[in-house]
Chain A
Amino acid sequence: MLLAAGRGLALAVGSLPLSILGFCLSLVSMALIPIGVGALTTPYVVQGVRAYAERRRALAERWGGVRVPSAYRPAPATANPFRRTYALLRDPATWRDLRWLLVDMTAGYLTALLPAVLVLYPLEGLALAAGLWRVVGDGDGGAYWYAFVPVDGQATALGAGALAAALLFVAHRYTVSVFQVHFRLTEAMLTPSQAELAARVRVLTETRRDAVDTSAAELRRIERDLHDGAQARLVAMGMDLGTVEMLVDKDPEKAKALLAQARRSSAEALSELRDLVRGIHPPVLAERGLGDAVRALALRLPVATEVSVELEGGRVDAPVESAAYFAVSELLTNAVKHSGAGRIWVDLHHGAGRLRISVTDDGAGGAAIGAGSGLAGVERRLGTFDGVLAVSSPAGGPTMVTMEIPCVLS
C-alpha cells in the first residue's frame, strides 16, 4: 500500500510536467511545419515523445505488471527532414501518443495521485484527533473542515479521527487497485491497433526471411572456402608427409624438399583459415569490441581515415556488434573503391537507445541504394535488427551514409 502510494506520488509529480511539455512541443512543432521550421523540429520532438512513452511502458510493466506492446514504424530511411516528418505524421502511433499525452496529464495524473491521497489524508485526520485540532482552528472560533466534519473541539476531532480510520481501511483495501487503474489507462491509450500489429508482423516476416537467406548463403560460402582451401591443403600435406616417410631412408634430399613443401602448405592453410575467420567474426571484434575493431579496420585502409567512438565504454550486443562491424566494413570498402576519396570519417555514437554510425568521405559522390550497389545489401542486413540506412550523396560529393540500429549497451 505504502509502496503504491509512494510510486503514485512520484509518478504524478514526475509525469505531469513531462506530459504537458511533450504535448505542447508536439503541437507547436506541428503547427510550424507549414513555415518549414516545424519540419526540422518535428522528427526530434516525435522521437522524444516516443522515448518518453517507451519509458512509461517499461514503468507500467515494472510497477503495474501491465505489458503495453509498442509498434512504431522504423524511422524513415532518408535524411530529408520534410520526408522524415511526413513519414512520421503518417504513422498512426504518432497520433496515438498525442492522445495518450492528453489523457495522461489529466486522468492519468489523477489516478496516479489518488493512492497517495488515500494514504496521506487519513494521516491528517489521525493527527487532528491526536491534538493537532488545537492548532489548526482559526482564531475567531470558526471550524476547520476535515472532509465533511467541522473540527472545533476534542469531540469533533475524534470524529475526524474515526473518519480517517475508515478512510485508512479503504486505502488499505483499494490503494493498489486504484494505482493499477492508472496503468490500465496507459495500456488502453498506448496499445497499438490490430492493423498496426499486422503491419509490424509483415515487416518482421520479411526481415527474418532476409536474415535466414543471408546466413544460409554465408554458410555455403564458408563451406566452399574450407573445402577448396584449408581442407585441400591438409590433404596435400598428409600426402607429402606419407611420401616423406617412404623416402626418408632412400632419398633424404628429396624427403627434405617435401618436408619444406609440407611446411609451406601448413602455413598457407593457416593463412587461409585466418582470412576465413576474419570474414566470420574478426578476432579484434571479439577481443576489443566495436570501437577498436573499427579503428583496426581503419588502420588497414589505404585512405586516411578518422574514427571517433562514443560508446560510454560499453559493449554493444554481440549480434548487433557484428552486423554493425560488417556494415561499416562494406561502406569503407565502397568509399575506397568507388569514391576516389582522400579522407574518410567514421563516427560511432550511442544515445537514446540507438547506435548511430555515420561514414563520410570527400569523394565524388553519386552513391545510391540500388541493385548491386552493395548499399542495398547493407540495408537488408540491418533490417533484421530494425536498423535503417540513409544515404546523402550528391554528384560531386561529399557522401555521407548514416545507419541507426536500436540496441542497448552492456
Chain B
Amino acid sequence: MRVVLAEDLFLLRDGLVRLLEAYDFEIAAAVETGPELERALAELEPDVAVVDVRLPPTHTDEGLQCALRARRRRPGLPVLVLSQHVEQLYARELLADGTGGIGYLLKDRVFDAEQFVDAVRRVAAGGTAMDPQVIQQLLARRSGDGQGPVDRLTPREREVMELMAQGRSNAAIAGNLVVTERAVAKHTANIFVKLGLEVSDDDNRRVLAVLAYLDRER
C-alpha cells in the first residue's frame, strides 16, 4: 500500500516513516511543505495520504486545505489528517462531501502503533477514523440538556456508539468491549432505533450516518 506522508517536523516524519515501513507500507513520498504535498498528491496517486494540518510555508492550515483540494480533484481520495489539536470545525469540513475515506486524529494516537496502523488501513479502504476527542465533543454538545435521544441510550449503548462513530467495525467494537459480535449488532440496532436513523448493513454508511446525526444542529 503506497502512502504519501506530509509532516514538517523531522523527528515525527522520520518516526512515522519507520513505523509505517515496519507495518509493510510503501512510502511513496515523505514531504515537508504544502506545495510539495500538492505535487506529490497530484503525481504519485497514493492509496492513502497521511497529512499534518499545519505545514510550511504559511504554518496555518495548509495541509488541511491541500487535502481538501486533492479530494475535490479526486473524490474519495483517502486522507488521514493528523494534528496537535482536534477541532469539530475541521472534522465537519473533512466529512462534508460524505464520501468516506477520511481520518482525523490527534498526533498522540501514534503512540499506539497497532491502533494507528489500523486507522490508516481503515481510511485507505474507504472507511472512517475519527479521534475519540472529536466524538466526545460532539456527544457533550448533543447531551447538553439531558433530554435528547442521546441521553436515552444505556451506558453500554453509548460506549458502542462512541466506538462506532470513531469508525470501528462491529468486530473491532466487540473486541474492544469484550462482548460478542452479536451483542454489538443488537446494541447497534437499538441505537439506530432510539436516534431515529435508518439501519444500514454497510459499515461506513452507518458511521457517516451517526456522525452526521451528532453534528446536526439541535
Contact = CB atoms under 8 A, between A and B. Distances in A.
A301 interface: yes
A263 interface: yes
A304 B218 CA distance: 7
Interface residues of A, number: 22
A270 interface: yes
Given A283-B84, A284-B85, A304-B218, A299 B141 contact: yes
A301 B61 CA distance: 23
Between A284, A287, A304, the greatest number of chain B beta carbons within 10 A of the residue's beta carbon is seen for A287
Interface in B88-108: 88-89, 92, 108
Classify the interface of chain B: helix, strand, loop or mixed. Answer: loop
Interface stretch (A144-152, A288-296, A322-330): A288-296
A243 interface: no
A286 interface: yes
Contacts of A278: 85
Nearest to A286: B60
B89 A296 contact: yes
B87 A296 contact: yes
B61 A287 contact: yes
Contact of B108 (A271, A300, A304): A271
A288 B85 contact: no
B122 interface: no
Contact of A287 (B53, B108, B140, B145): B53
A328 to B, nearest CB: 15
A288 B61 contact: yes
A270 B86 CA distance: 13
Contacts of A263: 111
A301 B60 contact: no
Contacts of B85: 274, 277-278, 283-284
B137 A299 contact: yes
A296 B88 contact: yes
A299 B140 contact: no
A181 interface: no
A263 B218 CA distance: 38
Nearest to A304: B218
Contacts of A274: 84-85
B88 A303 contact: no
A302 B217 CA distance: 11
A271 B132 CA distance: 13
Interface in B9-68: 53-54, 59-61
Contacts of B89: 284, 288, 292, 295-296, 299
B144 interface: yes
A156 interface: no
A130 interface: no
A299 B87 CA distance: 9
A392 B60 CA distance: 37
B144 A303 contact: yes
B217 A304 contact: yes
Given A284-B89, A299-B87, 9 more contacts: A267-B111, A274-B84, A283-B54, A283-B83, A283-B84, A299-B141, A302-B141, A302-B145, A304-B217
26 contacts: A267-B111, A270-B108, A274-B84, A274-B85, A277-B84, A277-B85, A283-B54, A283-B83, A283-B84, A284-B85, A284-B87, A284-B89, A286-B60, A287-B53, A287-B54, A287-B60, A288-B89, A295-B89, A299-B87, A299-B92, A300-B88, A300-B137, A300-B141, A302-B144, A302-B145, A304-B217
Closest 5 CB pairs of A and B: A302-B144, A287-B61, A296-B89, A299-B88, A287-B60
